[in-house]
């Protein structure tokens, strides 16, 4: 991690902690949050090793509520569930709506309900994997809780992270959420079937993602029509 990025993370943590903590316990809150993140990262690394040792590819997908994460996973599953034995882990604060939707496409699912927590963390994934026979799968997807802020604090131990935004969220959505794009491998801009009607500035969105992370691959798709889903599958090397 670069020095600049470390400083940024530190600053954001400080600001968050200041909101939560009174003067007398502020240092303690900051230290505790750093410890939690460190433990999560250790566990995430263990998860990634375990999956790799079992020959399993893993991808997690984050984005706001309604960006189209589940719709994208449905379309991907439709195309590749003959080729891979797939497990999809879905995170939501409540319900198993998403798992039920995806399960129709010939994949196994586990729904995690996080209650008040606004993101999955490595411990959630660890618990699910403990209950599964990893010989049964070649590919694992994780759909995170719908949120563009909290998931940036917790790596899950996957090989790749996709961040999804949709053009209905407006052209400023990427500019306003630097952290997730910095830590993602692929940025998906969804719902391009609506582009003409909404007139969202797609070029700006692509540029913003690239500005934050020159290594990020940006793919514009429509999970509704299926446009460019093949490009996404190719980018995921599936
Ligand atoms: N027009 C259009 N609607 C979409 C597209 N992708 C998803 N949707 C719709 O957007 C809503 C939210 O999608 P969903 O997959 O549940 O989003 P999630 O909360 O990110 O998992 C649903 O009504 C979808 O049918 C798309 O590419 N175009
Ligand atoms: Mg969903």
pLDDT at 12: 67
Helices (H) and strands (E) in the chain, counts: 9, 7
Q: What is the mean pLDDT of residues 193-217?
A: 97
What is the pLDDT averaged over residues 214-226?
Answer: 98
Q: Is 228 in the pocket of ligand 1 (CB under 6 A)?
A: no
pTM, 2 dp: 0.89
Question: Can you name the CATH fold of 55-235?
Answer: Rossmann fold (3.40.50)
The answer, yes or no, to whether residue 4 has pLDDT greater than 80, is no
pLDDT of residue 15: 63
> Which 3 state secondary structure label does DSSP give 95?
coil
> According to DSSP H, which parts of 54-198 are helical?
69-80, 97-103, 122-130, 178-182, 195-198
With cut-offs at 50, 70 and 90, classify the pLDDT of residue 38: confident
List pLDDT tens digits, range 42-99.
999 999 999 999 999 999 999 999 999 999 999 999 999 999 999 999 998 888 899 9
Looking from the CA of residue 73, the nearest atom of ligand 1 is 15
| Percent of the chain clearing pLDDT 70 (strictly above) | 95
Spatial CB neighbours of 122, under 8 Å, sequence gap ≥ 6: 40, 41, 43, 44, 47, 154, 155, 156, 157
**Would you state the pLDDT for residue 214?**
97
* Amino acid 60: pLDDT: 97
With a cut of 90, say whether residue 16 has pLDDT above it.
Answer: no
User: Does the structure show a pLDDT above 70 at 17?
Assistant: no
CB of 194 sitting under 6 A from ligand 1: yes
What average pLDDT does the structure give for the chain? Answer: 92
* Digit-coded pLDDT (tens) for 102-142: 999 999 999 998 888 899 999 999 999 999 999 999 999 99
Domain layout of the chain by residue ranges? 55-235
| Distance from C-alpha of 94 to C-alpha of 7, rounded to nearest angstrom | 35
Q: Is the CB of 91 under 6 A from ligand 1?
A: no
**CA dist 110 → 41, 87, 166 (Å):** 22, 8, 25
Q: Ligand 2: distance of its center to the CA of 142 in Å?
A: 11
């Amino acid at each position: 991690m670069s020095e600049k990025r470390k400083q940024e993370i530190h600053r954001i943590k400080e600001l968050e902690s200041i909101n939560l903590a009174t003067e007398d316990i502020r240092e303690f809150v900051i230290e505790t949050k750093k410890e939690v993140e460190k433990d999560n990262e250790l566990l995430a690394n263990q998860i990634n090793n375990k999956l790799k040792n079992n020959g399993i590819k893993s991808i997690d997908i984050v984005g706001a509520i309604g960006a189209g994460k589940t719709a994208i996973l449905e379309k991907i599953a439709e195309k590749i569930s003959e080729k891979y034995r797939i497990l999809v882990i879905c995170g939501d604060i409540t319900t198993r709506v998403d798992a039920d939707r995806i399960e129709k496409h010939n994949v196994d699912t586990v729904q995690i309900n996080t209650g008040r927590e606004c993101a999955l963390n490595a411990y959630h994934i660890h618990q699910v994997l403990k209950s599964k026979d990893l010989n049964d799968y070649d590919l694992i997807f994780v759909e995170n809780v719908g949120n563009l802020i909290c998931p940036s604090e917790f790596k899950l131990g996957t090989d790749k992270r996709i961040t999804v935004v949709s053009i209905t969220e407006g052209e400023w959505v990427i500019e306003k959420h630097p952290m997730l794009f910095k830590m993602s491998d692929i940025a998906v801009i969804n719902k391009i079937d609506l582009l003409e009607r909404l007139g969202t500035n797609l070029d700006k969105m692509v540029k913003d993602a690239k500005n934050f992370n020159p290594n990020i691959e940006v793919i514009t798709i429509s999970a509704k029509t299926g446009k460019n889903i093949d490009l996404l599958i190719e980018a995921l090397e599936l």
